[in-house]
Amino acid sequence: MTYVYTVIAFGLIYTMLALGLNLQMGFTGIINFGYVAFVAIGAYTSAILTVGHHWPMLAGWAAGTALAALASYPLGLLTIRLGGDYFAVVTLGFSELVLLFVLNQRNLTHGAIGITGIHRPFAMLGPQLSAPVTLVIIAALTALTTALIWQIGHSPLGRLLRAIQANDAAAQALGKNTVSYKVLVLVVGSAVAGLAGALYAHWVQYISPEQFSPDVTFNTFIALILGGVGSLLGPVIGAFVLIAFLQGSIVLQDYVHVLSANQQSALRFMIIGLALVLLIVFRPDGIMGRAKRKRAARPERAS
């Protein structure tokens, strides 16, 4: 049962992550390779406040969400004007900075040791009951986020974002301040990442810096590409396929002993890498594809 719970919880959390990234990348065309930074900020903020300062859990989650959003605002203001490719690398650098901060501010984050003793909601019900209750809460918040993103996607704002993605200059020519919309999208997406991070911290009950490596960003990208970039339900499907594969191969490890544990986990990531390449080459629109609105081939720079 624990295993099923874990798959569902991680699937939901990655759904949320993919939703936030989809808003940035799929709708608006912002390539954020430092996405994990905002997950880490949400997770650590909530963990530090609830464990160290005995804040109520909801306040911790709210603070984690808010701080992730707040951190992305100056970053967006400073860097979103850069070309998309530059922005990608600068955000990757930002996530390294956040990770360094977490590793080195030991009095705040306990450095590499990490923070233990983070509680699940309704922990007083005992581990048997609090796990499913936590799952229901995570599911409700994921549904809420999905509804929010759905709303944005179907609103005039969503159409504007797609216009920015399709042709930034044309949107500007129509009198839209594309920079401030991009910053807005970055902030909302980061808030979603922060909330997902806080939920993650309270689900696994122990966080350390190594859980917030760039692999989290890449996994989210994979989930998004698997499900189909820019579609509304793609992230949900992509996240659960990815988690089922990741967790499934971990379970398999307990029964198959041909390879060492190290080799099995290496093989897992080799398969992910291969799948990523094959998907991009053969199904760039994801398993589900994009039903309509096939993106016209954009004239690209030197090939």
Partner 1 sequence: MIATLLQHAVDGIVLGAIMALPAMGLALVWRIAGFPHLAHGSLMTIAAYAAWVAAGSWNLPLPLAVLFGLVISALAGVGMHLGVYRHLAGRPMLNLFIASIGVELFLRYGIIFSFGSDFQTFPLPAERGMHLGPVVVRPLDVILLAAAFAALLGVWWMFRGTQLGRRMRAVSDNPSLARLSAISPARVHLAMWVLVSVLAGASGILLGARDVIAPTMGWDVLLLAFAAAIFGGISNPFGAAIGAFLMGLVSELGILWIPTSYEEGIAFFLIMLVLLVKPRGLFGEAVRA
- Catalog residues that contact partner 1 under the rule CB under 8 A: 25, 31, 78-79, 81-86, 88-90, 92-94, 96-97, 100-101, 103-104, 218, 221, 225, 262-263, 266-270, 272-277, 280-281, 284, 297-298, 300-303
CB 224 within 8 A of CB 234: yes
User: Quick one: 206 or 269, whose CB is closer to partner 1?
Assistant: 269
Return the bridge partners of 115, or none: 207
Cα→Cα distances 68→45, 104, 253, Å = 9, 19, 36
User: Quick one: 69 or 225, whose CB is closer to partner 1?
Assistant: 225
CB 27 within 8 A of CB 161: yes
Determine the Cα–Cα distance for residues 37 and 52; give it in Å rounded to an integer.
Answer: 21
Least Å from the CB of residue 277 to partner 1: 4
CB 118 within 8 A of CB 205: yes
Least Å from the CB of residue 141 to partner 1: 28
User: Quick one: 1 or 302, whose CB is closer to partner 1?
Assistant: 302
Interior CA angle at 218 toward 82 and 89, to 5°?
20
Least Å from the CB of residue 287 to partner 1: 15
DSSP element (H, E) containing 226: helix 214-227
Please report how many Cα atoms fall inside a 13 Å half-sphere around the Cα of residue 182, on the Cβ side.
28
Least Å from the CB of residue 140 to partner 1: 32
Least Å from the CB of residue 298 to partner 1: 6
User: Quick one: 4 or 267, whose CB is closer to partner 1?
Assistant: 267
User: Quick one: 25 or 191, whose CB is closer to partner 1?
Assistant: 25
